[in-house]
Amino acid sequence: MADDFKANEVSERYARALFELADEAGSIDQVRSDLKSLKAMLADSAELRRAVTSPIYSAEDKGKALVAIAAKSGFNMLTAKFLGLLTQNDRAAVLPGVIAGYEALWARKTGVVGAEVISAQPLSAAQLKNIKSALRTALGQDPELEARVDPSILGGLKVKVGSKLFDASLKTKLDTLKFALKRA
């Protein structure tokens, strides 16, 4: 548990440093876009996740991999240099925490709150617009929606805003009913 706290503290410190540098350079949105792309790459590739977080690979190898990805993806120079510094300091394993920390700092600065909408089937543009409008009313802030499809919820929606989860999925309702019937 102490290691988790330390890793979280380290990732927040790096995220804050990157955000402040990006803010000074006037490129907070571009760095955010780079980090979102990198997050998607990490989510899509188990091999990349392993290469970044595994202690088997040297910091130098991790740095080469991340800097090559940054160059090939056309990342902002600040993002590329940051990734090099992160690996040089042997902190590549905290990269997912750095990305999350940067996202939180960006949201605080811009007043936009991130929201993840999970549905059993793809939502139409009109449905997403209605959800965004309802969230704007409920939160008093502009939400930035990220839609995801998860057929296992069977129907309904799950909406995650920050650390809060609003679960109106059919699977959860059925599980609740099943639990209530077992208790009866």
Residue % of the chain over a pLDDT of 90 = 50
- Across all residues in the chain, what is the average pLDDT? 89
Question: What mean pLDDT is predicted for residues 128-142?
Answer: 90
Whether the Cβ atoms of residue 63 and residue 70 lie closer than 8 Å to each other: no
Q: Answer whether residue 141 shows pLDDT above 80.
A: yes
Residues 6+ apart with CB under 8 A from 152: 120, 171
User: What whole-number distance in Å separates Cα of residue 135 and Cα of residue 94?
Assistant: 31
Phi, psi of 145 (to 5 degrees): -85, 140
Q: With residue 164 as reference, give the H or E element that holds it.
A: strand 164-169
- pLDDT given for residue 4 in this prediction: 53
User: DSSP secondary structure string, 104-158?
Assistant: HHHHHHHTEEEEEEEESSPPPHHHHHHHHHHHHHHHSSEEEEEEEE-GGG-SEEE
Q: Give residue-wise pLDDT tens across range 20-51.
A: 999 999 999 999 999 999 999 998 999 888 88
Eight-state DSSP code of residue 75: -
Question: What mean pLDDT is predicted for residues 125-152?
Answer: 90
Question: What mean pLDDT is predicted for residues 63-78?
Answer: 92
| Token pair of 170 as six digits | 């059919």
Decide: pTM greater than 0.85: no
- pLDDT given for residue 6 in this prediction: 55
Q: Tokens 């590739």 map to which residue?
A: 45
